[in-house]
A and B are shown apart, each in its own frame.
Chain A
């Protein structure tokens, strides 16, 4: 039997950089064709085509994946910022917890929960290092939200005690109704 061996460097490159799909079958086909008289140049051409095709495929896949990831991140952060701003605004306008619980407050809470769910899904989908990074970011986020909320509530409490009825208060009690005009 003819024992021609195809260029080892080409086969090594194919194994390293070639397509993942049916890689063994592809390498076997190349060896078989080489045994039946194909040239080394033909072998190299096939390997280069395989590597090029695999790299283009993986690049296209990575691009679409990162685009989705970026869109998801922008969406999550936008939802979180809008929800936080709404909560801050709500806490500025009300004087008690009963007043705070309104449809707007509920929607804001749902939006925050959605953002948290998306974040958690990302956390459990990623690898170990990604999980660590997301966990640290999440902790920073929770700290920032808690600090801001606590600060705002304290400020609202101060307003409630000392400034309600004055010009600095922006609650609905101070807005004159049209009937007074």
Chain B
């Protein structure tokens, strides 16, 4: 049986952010900053995306180059079926772990 590789916190956050439509570097960064209150460097996001892509959890596609980006194209990211499953599993595990913890005041899902 293949050893399962668990995702790190940043990888998970990036994977959840990628699940929104038209996700590319800037949008992913902004999403993480808004939801977690943590400023993340673009390079860290791309490093996490590289790891996710290598694990087969996301795919990338090039958009059209635009003038506002100095003629450089955007790269859009989408989760694969395995990525969606991984995100669902991670979400379920976290919810089960948090359930019944009085200090967190989390209602059961």
Residues of chain A having any CB pair with chain B under 8 Å: 1, 5, 18-19, 21-22, 24-33, 35, 45-46, 49-50, 53-54, 57
Contacts and interface: CB of A to CB of B under 8 A. Distances in A.
Interface of B: 24-26, 29, 41-44, 46-47, 49-50, 60, 65, 67-70, 72-75
A32 B50 CA distance: 21
A26 B42 CA distance: 7
A1 B67 contact: yes
A19 B68 contact: no
Contact of B47 (A24, A32, A57): A57
DSSP class of B's interface residues: helix, strand, loop or mixed?
helix
A53 B67 CA distance: 28
Given A21-B46, A25-B24, A25-B75, A31 B41 contact: no
Contacts of A33: 26, 42
B46 A1 contact: no
A1 B68 contact: yes
A30 B49 contact: no
A71 B72 CA distance: 43
A92 B65 CA distance: 75
Contacts of B26: 29, 32-33
Contacts of A21: 46-47, 49-50
A31 B88 CA distance: 34
